[in-house]
Amino acid sequence: MDFSFTSDQEELRALTNRVLTDRCTLEHLKEIEGGEGVDLALWRELADLGIVGIGMPESVGGAGLGFAEVAIVLEEVGRTVAQIPALPVMGMAAPFLAEHAPAHLAGLASAERIVTVALHELVGEVHTPSLTGAGGSISGVKTNVPFGTVADAFIVSAADGIYLVDAKAAGVTVERQDATDGIPDAKVTFAGAAAEKIAEASDLDRLLEYGQASQSLIMAGVTARSIEIMAEYVKERVQFERQIATFQAVAQRAADCR
């Protein structure tokens, strides 16, 4: 069985890497982190290139490809630590909505809308949400919602199902939470906010699987680039009139990174 990437997939990787590398310089990332914490201009540029919608259906402006192509993009996002909502939108919301509520995919591929996921709570663990949804409304608090400050809607896990809530709906309050990775997380309070049930509680595991896979892909990109930076550094750094890459202790630690 051949697991190598196709020529089209390699072209996608090259294009994504080129765009992200050109934009995500250290200076630019510091500027973004000091502001809203999200590069919406870059997100729109990726949408114009068809990258944001690479795994979304053609009927909503996507390319109609699969999660393998999304995986390529997510790994490059990690490699460049781009401050864009690729994980919640491309990695989680889009594939989940495609399965359970395709009508709500509109606007995602073009970056006109951002839909994120609200899964974590102040206490307890993510597999057992305590929020309640009844009579078309939902109440409770979610924390560490990725890119929650710029989201247009939230996919919210509750005890009796999974709901979609408009960020501008009455009863929704969003407060920014600063995280060590620079991503603008948010604490979101739902006080009887209008909500549409889009999936059953048993479908939460599927959403979490998308999240785990997506986060792993981003971390794979971060790790790969970290190793490249380390390799470049140990070849340049000279100590005791020798490149430190020639020291056994350094070489052993470098090998451990692989």
- Domain at 114-199: CATH architecture: Beta Barrel (2.40)
Q: For the chain, what percent of residues have pLDDT higher than 70? A: 99
Return the domain boundaries, the chain. Answer: 114-199, 215-257
- pLDDT above 80 for 253: no
Q: What is the pLDDT of residues 111-165, one digit of tens each?
A: 999 999 999 998 877 877 878 777 789 999 999 999 999 999 999 999 999 999 9
The answer to whether 243 and 237 are in contact (CB under 8 A) is yes
Q: What is the pLDDT of residues 2-43, one digit of tens each?
A: 788 899 999 999 999 999 999 999 999 989 888 888 999 999
CA–CA gap between residue 234 and residue 81 (Å, rounded): 22
Q: What is the pLDDT of residue 258?
A: 62
Q: What is the pLDDT of residue 179?
A: 81
Q: Indicate the DSSP class of residue 82.
A: -
- Report CA-CA distances (Å) from 253 to 232, 237, 256: 14, 16, 5
Distance of CA 33 to the CA centre of its chain: 16
Q: What is the pLDDT of residue 81?
A: 95
pTM score, whole prediction: 0.90
- pLDDT above 80 for 247: no
- pLDDT above 80 for 241: no
Report residue 107's pLDDT band, with 50, 70 and 90 as the boundaries. very high
Question: Kind and range of the H or E element at 177?
Answer: strand 172-178
